[in-house]
Amino acid sequence: MFPSVLEFGKTGFGDELARGALSTLLIAASSFIIGLVLGQLGAAAKLYGGPASRFIANIYTTVIRAVPELVLILLLFFAGTKGISALGVAVGYGPVDINGTFAAILVLGFVQGAYATEVIRGAIQAVPVGQIEAARAFGMSGTQVFTRVILPAMLPNAIPGLANLWLVVIKDTALITVTGASAELAQMTKNAAGFTKRYFLFYFVSGCIYLAMTLVSNYFISRLEAYVRRGQPKLA
Amino acid sequence: MDWSWLPKYLPMLLQGLSITIQILVISMVLGLTLAVPIGLVQVTGPKWLSRIAQAYCTVMRGTPLLIQLYLFYYGVGSILATFPELRQSIFWPILREGYFYAILAFALNEAGYAGEIMRGAFLSVPKGELEAARAFGMTPFQVLRRVWLPRALRNVLPTLGGETILTLKSTPLAALVTVVDLFGAADRVRQETYIIYPPLLLVMAIYMILTFIITRAFAVVEKQIPSRR
């Protein structure tokens, strides 16, 4: 019943798929964190920045969100690996060969950052101005206002959008296969399916693994959402 | 930047642009058509049908489109190829094409996303309007066609605009199953001339223009709808 090509060990591709799934989660998590940092910076630039930083942040979010991820990944992958390699030559280190996984993380993180910027910006803007003014009136410093008032008040608004981005980045990791430079789940599936010629089986199994990641994430997301919304009235 | 390739490859790029638009329009129309019953049964249908629709949306939204596309193109395609009757039939030239599988995958995927949107849209129509329609003696189908569906679509028009842009942005995946769409054409240039950036930057600009046109088009349609806000 259980197809032998899915067994773990030398004869099957089970362990390859498992390693691919781990790699997918690693790439997704790292890109998500990079995206959060970039999003935080982007939102700060858009809300509190001067004309120059606002302009740059606007270009960043407009361009990244209007161009297909596949095109961006290919473009940034070639440009990024070439750029870093050139940088290595410039500082006298010699040409650098970048690890495909590492490049993928940077590229996906850069793309995520544009979407995260909009989510975080919207969430901050949804915090009633009065609350921020009240915090200032108490004599809080900028950092205190952010950590004590803005952050806890914006999280309920930001979590659904950010959760969505997490689900998107898991699925976007599959696009890295176009560069052929990484060993995540989609690439492993492609290798296994091509080797055994059992395309339907492997793409089906791989789809199930992605679905499991999504469903498990959904469970934790709803727990997290309930936590950050504690003490607030229920949504209709 | 080297643009000397452009005159030679321009016809291919334009052809690719037209393929991209075809894929977008056909898969959007099919996807939305499927999404209406998927959304509807979740609101009024029997429980088992509603469960199936829900599961469908979860699966389509929970797996990468790339895997879905490969499952259809390589998976289903290789299974279909084992039937000699089918290979000799008049349908085989279509069933062999990546173009067909790309539209199939995008439409089914879009139906999953839009089905979820339509569910919310049907719920957002005030009950009183449906009751009024029924009180006029309309049959259930008339209620759907004259009141429920138009009102629901109107409510989610902006969301559907965003959905169209998302679908546009997934069309380059078709290039991975041998379709020479806009991105596929740029990729062909890269393979044949080893020029990487200019073609990619050009198609990037075209995708941005297409996104802009879709945004404007939906804004125009939204303006046509009389509303009091």
A68, A78, A193 ranked by CB distance to B183: nearest: A68
Q: How many CB atoms lie within 10 A of CB A235?
A: 7
Tell me which of B17, B67, B200 to substitute to probe the interface with A (most A C-beta atoms closer than 10 Å): B67
What does the pLDDT read at residue A141?
A: 92
Ordered by where they begin, the domains of chain A are 15-228 (1.10.3720.10)
pLDDT for res B104? 95
Residue A231 CB contacts under 8 Å (≥ 6 apart), including other chains = none
Report the share of chain B in percent with pLDDT over 70. 99
ipTM: 0.88
Residue of A17, A65, A67 for testing the chain B interface, max B β-carbons within 10 Å: A67
Across B217-228, average pLDDT? 83
Phi-psi label, residue B179: left if phi above 0, alpha if psi -120 to 50, beta otherwise: beta
d(CA A206, CA B103): 21
pLDDT tens for each residue of B165-183: 999 999 999 999 989 999 9
User: What is the rounded average pLDDT of the residues B116-132?
Assistant: 93
Residue among B63, B67, B172 whose CB faces A70 most closely = B172
pLDDT at residue B53 above 70? Answer: yes
Indicate yes or no: CB of B74 within 8 angstroms of CB of A71.
Answer: no
Q: What is the DSSP letter of B136?
A: T
Q: What does each C-alpha distance from A52 to A48, A67, A155, B8 come to in angstroms?
A: 11, 23, 28, 40
Would you call A211 and B207 a contact, using CB atoms and an 8 Å cutoff?
A: no
Q: In angstroms, what separates the C-alpha of B17 from chain A's closest C-alpha? A: 14
Cβ contact, residue pair A186, B75, below 8 Å: no
| Residue-level pLDDT at A67 | 92
Query: For tokens 């199939």, what's the residue?
Result: B104
Across B124-143, average pLDDT: 93
Task: Determine, for residues A70 and B68 on separate chains, whether the beta-carbon distance falls below 8 Å.
Answer: no
Cβ partners under 8 Å of residue B172, min gap 6: A68, A70, A71, B20, B181, B182, B183, B184
Alpha-carbon distance B202 to nearest alpha carbon in chain A (angstroms): 11
Give the length of chain A.
236
If you ran DSSP here, which 8-state letter would residue B71 be given? I
One of 4.10.490.10, 3.40.50.170, 1.10.3720.10, 3.50.50.60 is the CATH number of B6-223, namely 1.10.3720.10
Cα separation, A77 vs B150, whole angstroms: 44
- CA diameter of chain B: 69
Domain extents in chain B:
6-223
Residue A3 gets the label, from left (phi > 0), alpha (psi -120 to 50) or beta, of beta
Block means of pLDDT (10 residues each) for chain A, 236 residues, are 70 86 95 96 92 94 92 85 80 75 89 94 91 93 91 89 94 89 88 89 94 96 89 68
**What pLDDT is attached to residue A9?**
72
Coil, helix or strand for B196? Answer: coil
* Confidence check: pLDDT of B229 > 60: no
**For position A236, what pLDDT does the model report?**
52
pLDDT band at residue B228 using 50, 70 and 90 as cut-offs: low
Query: How far A82 CA lies from chain B's nearest CA (Å)?
Result: 11
Average pLDDT for B31-60: 94
